[in-house]
Amino acid sequence: MSTHLAAYPQHRPVTLACRGLVAAPHYLAAQAGLDMLKAGGNAVDAAIAANATLQVVYPFVVGLGGDLFALGYDARSGHMYGLNGSGRSAQAATIERYAALGHTTMPRYGLHSVTVPGCADGWGKLMERSGRLGLERALASAIGYAEEGFPVGPDLHAALVRMSAQPHTHSSWREHFTPGGHIPLAGSVARAPALARTLRAIATDGPEVFYRGAVAQRIAAFCAREGGLLTLEDLAAHTSEWVTPLSVPFAGLEVYQLPPNTQGVTALQMLGMLDGLALGEGPLAPETTHAAVEAKKLAFADRAAYLTDPAYMRVRPADLLAPDYLRQRRQRIDPHRAQPSVAPGSFAGDTIYLCAADGEGNVVSLIQSNYRGFGSGYVVEDTGISLHNRGAYFSLDPEAANALVPGKRTLHTLIPSLATWDGRPALAFGAMGGDGQPQTHLQVYTALARFGLNIQAAIELPRWIHGAEEPGEPEILRVEGRFPTETVAALRALGHEVEEIGAWDALMGYAQGIVIDQERGVLHGGADPRAESAAVGW
């Protein structure tokens, strides 16, 4: 074992199973997904059940008012598929309109940061294509917790305390999450009857009710009354899109990500650049970390310059992954010096990632988000829907790649991944964390494929994240306090501005993963101790 790993014992065992496995950032959600597998459902049924349950028990990172992306492998056909379930900007959302409203930059919170939520339609499309038990069965666990009550965990309580103190928090949020003005304590029982009614309507009538029925009418009326731009016509025009995943080879794997408007290309560029470089003796060695951080800087420069809704991109996404182009970018990495940053980003972004695999060979890698915490700070009355603030990623600079345009999908940080070995699924992986997501992908894939760690050990390793915590701040390389002191010293000597933070810091995001051992027929699950995560199987 590398000396860089010896000081970091694995805290949790890998979850091993043969008939099915679900990894999610909350144990109740993981169990809800497993219940679907035991009831005869498949990985799609399990993923939707876990996702819906998270919206009740972990609502500060995920909700019906957000977007959804998924990668899946269908065992029967042997095909991989991708789903872009992100929504578009309102037809009234022009740069000129925002200027008239007094905005010189995109608002980070409030109703003017809201785009059409894509989650409900994403559920419907996944279930229609590959599910087995139907939405009514898949949403039953979430509805039960919302109606009958669920125990408030420490992460949710802390998030409610933080959100209650924010100046952008609207009274509609307070009425839903802090009834009577009281923040539920950790260990107390909370209920969400309004959200239960909305989930039941979707279970009974399908996603149509969210976009063209009674729920849509409530969303549109609420936005109109509170000064938002979303209309009933914007909701009715929404549809998810089946897309073709992109991939690069990495350490014997073929790693797949969704195309733009996600930043999946960014993760693939980082992996593609690192794949051709010599690394240190372990995943925490200074040579390994330095090369990875430098690859991140180059990939994020391309992200800032090119990535947005593919209908508006100035280059083909595949061109950014061409071997010759990646070779050119790789050659710009100096192993002896940190280069200046060229693509400031931000860490913030609250999301859930989960994955599910069944005994038949089906795999789902799913990510869903409200974006920053509870999103915009608004909850549609009588629905329990926290509207996300994903539109904050747009730019009001008309020359920017991600400039605001009516009916446009913004650049998205959400990136589920799948990897294959010899054409068969080998790994489902993802993480929350905004701009940190591709950085976490790079570190975990490197630990797994280049250094042979198991999925739980790879997730538990101390992580780094590079960027600015808030827009306009200088970029810093932040490392968890468990990072080797010799690596930190070496990185500073190379010119990195390094800041040590908490030993298990939520800033690093929450990662989950499933390794599929095709030869033995065994599933290996890993869950992140930085959240209330669990990997459960049977």
Structural domains of the chain in order of their starting residue, each with its CATH number: 3-13+243-348+413-537 (3.60.20.40), 29-66+77-230+362-393 (no CATH)
Over 211-250, what HEC string results? HHCHHHHHHHHHHHHHCCCCCHHHHHCCCCEEECCEEEEE
pLDDT at 349 over 80: no
Cβ contact 535:22 at 8 Å: yes
pLDDT at 1 (0 to 100): 36
pLDDT grade, residue 342 (50/70/90)?
A: low
Q: Give the rounded distance of the alpha carbon of 180 from its chain centre.
A: 32
- Please tell me the pTM assigned to this model: 0.95
pLDDT digits (tens, 9 = 90+) for 198-239: 999 999 999 999 999 999 999 999 999 999 999 999 999 999
pLDDT at 5: 59
User: How much is the average pLDDT of 65-77?
Assistant: 97
Q: Which of the four pLDDT bands, split at 50, 70 and 90, describes residue 433?
A: confident
Q: Using the Cα atoms of residue 94, residue 96, residue 100 and residue 103 in order, give the sign of their dihedral.
A: positive
pLDDT averaged over every residue in the chain: 94
Of 128, 120, 16, 9, nearest in space to 72 by CA: 128
For the cut 90, the answer to whether the pLDDT of residue 9 exceeds it is no
Q: Write the pLDDT tens digit of every residue in 416-425.
A: 999 999 999 9
Specify the pLDDT at position 4: 53
**Is there a contact between 48 and 134 (Cβ–Cβ < 8 Å)?**
no
Catalytic, 420? Answer no
pLDDT tens-digit readout, 273-331: 999 899 999 999 999 999 999 999 999 999 988 889 999 998 899 999 999 999 999 99
Integer-rounded Cα radius of gyration of the chain: 22
pLDDT of 255 reads 98
Q: What is the pLDDT of residue 6?
A: 59
Q: Which of 262, 288, 308, 351 is catalytic?
A: 351
Q: What pLDDT, on the 0 to 100 scale, is given for residue 434? A: 85
From 377, 369, 344, select the one nearest 466 (Cα to Cα). 344
pLDDT given at position 88: 97
In whole angstroms, what separates CA 130 from the centre of its chain? 22
Span 45-66, average pLDDT: 97
Give me the pLDDT at residue 373, please: 84
